[in-house]
Amino acid sequence: MEGKQVKEDMEARLLEGGVRPTAMRLLISKFMLQQDTAVALTDIENAFAKVERTTIYRTIKTFEEKGIVHQIDDGTGIQKYALCEKGCKCDIARDLHLHFHCRNCNQTVCLTNYKLPHINLPQGYSAEDISLVVTGICKKCGL
Amino acid sequence: MEGKQVKEDMEARLLEGGVRPTAMRLLISKFMLQQDTAVALTDIENAFAKVERTTIYRTIKTFEEKGIVHQIDDGTGIQKYALCEKGCKCDIARDLHLHFHCRNCNQTVCLTNYKLPHINLPQGYSAEDISLVVTGICKKCGL
DNA sequence: TTAAGTATGCACTTCCATTGCATTGGATGA
DNA sequence: TCATCCAATGCAATGGAAGTGCATACTTAA
Ligand SMILES: [Mn+2]
Ligand SMILES: [Mn+2]
Ligand SMILES: [Zn+2]
Ligand SMILES: [Zn+2]
């Protein structure tokens, strides 16, 4: 019954975002909900051998457009994604947060409690998005 | 004669870094010195049609290992590079700086005067490298 | 029930990073 | 000067991942 609750929550969330909650989309979004790290397309592909890569690709892109997930560029050159938090508008000051990439386990996590510091820029520059990624050794991999 | 000075400077810099200053390496490093934005492999390739892509690739990698250039991941998925400043050890607190990527002109610049703010991490995490990239509209592209 | 619009599946392309191996060139010592 | 060795360069090929075009299946609403 807990699983059902999760499912309904996710369904509601997709609907809120204006995304039709198809089987595929529920499958993928629920998978992401279970992860405690950011996922790459390939991760999802491996988790569901049956599902077409393109479908996953387009699903994620749809999620991204509708503000259901955010993309993370952790420096590996591979795009990662994570679910946005409830009420997230990807606002620089309120929602954007630090990401940590572990060079040992190669995993990337959202540190949603660590918001971005205020950045000031030279005259004439305007900020629309900010990426702050720390690379090092994560909690699990540290001795 | 100024050009010659630059050449000698660059040559000295390569030698300091333990890199033999071959013609190719001087060519590429001097090219980078002239740029006011970070460059991709392809940029160098286009600038010198004669030069093999692989050679550029390996040259840049050598430079990176020896601390002559630093790599920048600006979120485009294409690796960019820029010369390190004199005396740079890529130390987090002292040397690392903000990078700005303009979504209009698609160029990325080092804001070397804008050092990284101090980042604190959750217990158990250790930082070895930090990337802070702001995306938006640059000085030139803003009205 | 049908028609229109979405979502999904499949094939294919493109772009860039990366590697293996052949060849060249420059420093060094006989 | 010449032979030799190692590093640098060139050439060809690979591989991974993002992205696109088009055919097909599914939903929804008239
Ligand atoms: Mn995140
Ligand atoms: Mn820089
Ligand atoms: Zn780790
Ligand atoms: Zn610009």
For residue B1, what pLDDT is reported? 46
Please tell me whether residue B2 adopts helix, strand or coil conformation. helix
Sign of CA dihedral B123, B129, B130, B131: negative
Residue contact B124–A134, C-beta within 8 A: no
The reply to whether B134 touches chain A by the CB within 8 Å rule is: yes
- Going by pLDDT thresholds of 50, 70 and 90, the confidence category of residue B111 is very high
Buried b (16+ CB within 10 A) or exposed e, B74-110: bbbeebbbbbbeeebeeebeebbbbbbbbeeeebbbb
Closest residue, chain B, to A77 (C-alpha): B77
* Mean confidence (pLDDT) of chain B: 94
**Whole-number distance in Å between A87 CA and C19 C1':** 46
Return the closest nucleotide (C1') to the Cα of A77: D17
For residue B119, what pLDDT is reported? 96
Strand C, nucleotides covered by protein (CB < 7 Å): 6-11, 16-20, 26
Closest residue, chain B, to A133 (C-alpha): B131
Quote the distance between the C-alpha of residue B111 and its chain's center: 11
Along the 143 residues of chain A, how does pLDDT read in single tens digits? 455 566 668 999 999 999 999 999 999 999 999 999 999 999 999 999 899 999 999 999 999 999 999 999 999 999 999 999 999 999 999 999 999 999 999 999 999 999 999 999 999 999 999 999 999 999 999 97
Residue contact B111–A133, C-beta within 8 A: no
- What structural domains does chain B harbor? 2-136 (1.10.10.10)
Of A123, A126, A137, the CB nearest to B136: A126
Backbone angles phi, psi at B137, to 5 degrees: -115, 130
For residue B143, what pLDDT is reported? 76
Return the closest nucleotide (C1') to the Cα of A56: C8
Sign of CA dihedral B25, B27, B32, B34: positive
Return the residue matching tokens 């720390």: A134
> Which residue, A15, A1, A80, is CA-closest to B77?
A80
pLDDT in tens, B39-85: 999 999 999 988 999 999 999 999 999 999 999 999 999 999 999 99
A98 with A116: CB under 8 angstroms? yes
- Rounded Cα distance between A135 and B126, Å, is 8
The reply to whether A127 touches chain B by the CB within 8 Å rule is: yes
pLDDT in tens, B101-110: 999 999 999 9
**Phi-psi domain of A77 (left: phi exceeds 0; alpha: psi -120 through 50; beta: other):** left
Residues of A in contact with B117 (CB under 8 A): 117, 119
B80 with B40: CB under 8 angstroms? yes
Q: 3-state secondary structure string, B53-111?
A: HHHHHHHHHHHHHCCCEEEEECCCCCEEEEECCCCCCCCCCCCCEEEEEECCCCCEEEE
Q: Angle, nearest 10°, between helix axes A2-16 and A23-34?
A: 110
Average the pLDDT over B8-14 and give the result.
Answer: 89
Of A77, A136, A139, the CB nearest to B128: A136
- Rounded Cα distance between B114 and B52, Å, is 35
pLDDT in tens, B114-135: 999 999 999 999 999 999 999 9
Q: Of chain B residues 51-80, which have a beta carbon within 7 Å of strand D?
A: 51-52, 54-55, 58-59, 62, 77
Return the closest nucleotide (C1') to the Cα of A23: C7
Dig out the tokens for A75 from the structure.
């420096």
Backbone angles phi, psi at A16, to 5 degrees: -55, -40
- Rounded Cα distance between B70 and B37, Å, is 13
Biggest alpha carbon–alpha carbon distance for chain B: 55
The reply to whether B5 touches chain A by the CB within 8 Å rule is: no
The whole-model pTM stands at 0.93
> Which residue, A48, A119, A44, A111, is CA-closest to A74?
A111
